[in-house]
Copies of this chain bind each other. A is one copy, B any other.
């Protein structure tokens, strides 16, 4: 029970530190404020197409240090964060190779983050485990920015994607966007679809075979962000389709929509992703949708901008590089001003525009979080969740958010995997809970996989 991070209480009396772990940590208003700052920084950088030409660096981050902690390979993301920090006038310390770090001596992420909190002003973290960034933010005294955590989220990529869309198309509301490729393994896509749904854009999904959007993510789109499927013509705001038959290669052109479809026959943007081979155990790269000049010949794509988070492999033809619809190199270039704005706001470099001034986050902060006693019943079902990392065991307690769906579900606090079937017990009376828990009660609660497990732990029906 005393495994909480040292001095956490002291920290919590400070003005609240803001982290960026999920795109849902930012409200829509915060995203737009960030873009207006990014626009200002973009103007200082010059033209991203011709290469930025900087008259002289800024000094707003003088004396500040960002720590890049990268436990997974990266060039673009790491270098663009470091560039952003330097362009603001700050400095960087880097641990880019997990093999050359103390991790090889068995050090936990929790301890690393606590120690680095005393060196730097900001941590930028990439990690192969889902939920690692949320977990790290529990131990940090300084802001943590998630630069990709396993297959979970990659919110700063989404900020760059959204910034590109707003530069190309101005409006998100009713923007029609096709999203193709590995919708299952791509953390980038998970962050993106939440944001697009919240902003009222309309998505058509074009997954590779067996790489559909995870059921968890799809349900959140419907239940939390107003998503509707094609059949539901009364849809307001966000709207998306899920293919209703298994994919075959011939189906990689999009299905025809009825004239009455709210999507219409114009596609504003096509978002392409590579096969995330590091997230899959099989060799499933066959029948992967490929976007090339032939694909884009259809008149509905005549004004589509083409986005890709890069790196690409074969799914996006280099023939398109000189096509006026190709936005992906601009999208990569926007990484610098967008990350400059994020760093400046999260560090509060301009007191008038610091993130913690804002109302704060799309995420429901009133949600009930059940902090499991050590060794207690329910575990996160996602084996790649940080909660299953052996090095973190001594530091970590399983935590679940109680989500008031009908029926309710438990959501892993770290990796946000949902659990449909569970039982909650009240530690005071050793009783199995039957009603919805109240905000005042979580200290007394404990979760079990089922009644049998609860009974074995000495809990009984009321």
User: Given the complex, which residues of B lie within 8 Å of A4, measured CB to CB?
Assistant: 321-322
Contact among B6, B8, B111, B274 with A326 in the assembled complex (CB-CB below 8 Å): B6
Q: Is there a chain B Cβ closer than 8 Å to A141's Cβ?
A: yes
Q: What is the CA–CA distance of A335 and B121 in the complex, to the nearest angstrom? A: 16
Residues B105 and A394 in contact, CB atoms below 8 Å apart: no
Cβ of A445 to closest chain B Cβ, rounded Å: 22
User: Given the complex, which residues of B lie within 8 Å of A50, measured CB to CB?
Assistant: 7, 10-11, 14, 141
A99-151 contacts to B (CB < 8 Å):
99-108, 110-112, 114-121, 140-142
Residues A314 and B75 in contact, CB atoms below 8 Å apart: no
Q: What is the CA–CA distance of A48 and B11 in the complex, to the nearest angstrom? A: 12
Contact among B8, B120, B142 with A83 in the assembled complex (CB-CB below 8 Å): B120
Cβ of A455 to closest chain B Cβ, rounded Å: 29
A238-286 contacts to B (CB < 8 Å):
274, 277-278
Chain B residue nearest in CB terms to A143: B51
Contact among B62, B94, B311, B395 with A105 in the assembled complex (CB-CB below 8 Å): B311
Contact among B62, B116, B395 with A56 in the assembled complex (CB-CB below 8 Å): B62
User: Given the complex, which residues of B lie within 8 Å of A430, measured CB to CB?
Assistant: none
Residues A104 and B73 in contact, CB atoms below 8 Å apart: yes
Q: Is there a chain B Cβ closer than 8 Å to A383's Cβ?
A: no
Q: What is the CA–CA distance of A116 and B96 in the complex, to the nearest angstrom? A: 17
User: Given the complex, which residues of B lie within 8 Å of A321, measured CB to CB?
Assistant: 2-6
Q: Is there a chain B Cβ closer than 8 Å to A76's Cβ?
A: yes
Q: What is the CA–CA distance of A310 and B101 in the complex, to the nearest angstrom? A: 13
Q: Is there a chain B Cβ closer than 8 Å to A224's Cβ?
A: no
A374-426 contacts to B (CB < 8 Å):
394-395
Q: Is there a chain B Cβ closer than 8 Å to A64's Cβ?
A: yes
Query: Interface range on chain A: under 10, 10 to 19, 20 to 34, or 35 or more?
Result: 35 or more
Residues A319 and B118 in contact, CB atoms below 8 Å apart: no
Residues B54 and A64 in contact, CB atoms below 8 Å apart: yes
Q: Is there a chain B Cβ closer than 8 Å to A49's Cβ?
A: yes
Q: Is there a chain B Cβ closer than 8 Å to A303's Cβ?
A: no
Residues A118 and B7 in contact, CB atoms below 8 Å apart: no
Residue-wise interface mask of A (39-58) relative to B, using a CB-CB cutoff of 8 A (1 in contact, 0 not): 00000000011111011111
Q: Is there a chain B Cβ closer than 8 Å to A366's Cβ?
A: no
Q: Is there a chain B Cβ closer than 8 Å to A329's Cβ?
A: yes
Q: Is there a chain B Cβ closer than 8 Å to A29's Cβ?
A: no
Q: Is there a chain B Cβ closer than 8 Å to A166's Cβ?
A: no
Residues B115 and A332 in contact, CB atoms below 8 Å apart: yes
Residues A118 and B317 in contact, CB atoms below 8 Å apart: no
Q: Is there a chain B Cβ closer than 8 Å to A453's Cβ?
A: no
Q: What is the CA–CA distance of A326 and B52 in the complex, to the nearest angstrom? A: 44
Cβ of A248 to closest chain B Cβ, rounded Å: 25
Residues A105 and B51 in contact, CB atoms below 8 Å apart: no
Q: What is the CA–CA distance of A340 and B457 in the complex, to the nearest angstrom? A: 53
Residues B91 and A51 in contact, CB atoms below 8 Å apart: no
Residues A48 and B118 in contact, CB atoms below 8 Å apart: yes
Residue-wise interface mask of A (279-310) relative to B, using a CB-CB cutoff of 8 A (1 in contact, 0 not): 00000000000000000000000000000001
Q: Is there a chain B Cβ closer than 8 Å to A169's Cβ?
A: no
Q: Is there a chain B Cβ closer than 8 Å to A86's Cβ?
A: yes
Assuming the contacts A3-B319, A83-B120, A119-B336, asked whether A310 and B93 have C-beta atoms less than 8 A apart, the reply is no
Chain B residue nearest in CB terms to A49: B7
Q: What is the CA–CA distance of A14 and B95 in the complex, to the nearest angstrom? A: 37
Contact among B79, B110, B111 with A116 in the assembled complex (CB-CB below 8 Å): B79
* 21 residue pairs A–B, Cβ–Cβ below 8 Å: A2-B319, A7-B329, A51-B118, A51-B142, A52-B118, A55-B63, A56-B62, A57-B91, A65-B86, A70-B100, A73-B102, A97-B97, A97-B100, A102-B311, A105-B313, A107-B311, A111-B312, A118-B333, A118-B336, A119-B335, A318-B394
Q: Apart from A92-B93, A118-B333, list 20 A-B contacts with CB within 8 A.
A: A2-B323, A3-B321, A6-B322, A55-B63, A57-B62, A70-B100, A73-B100, A76-B112, A79-B93, A96-B96, A96-B97, A97-B100, A111-B312, A115-B329, A115-B333, A118-B332, A118-B335, A119-B335, A317-B394, A318-B395
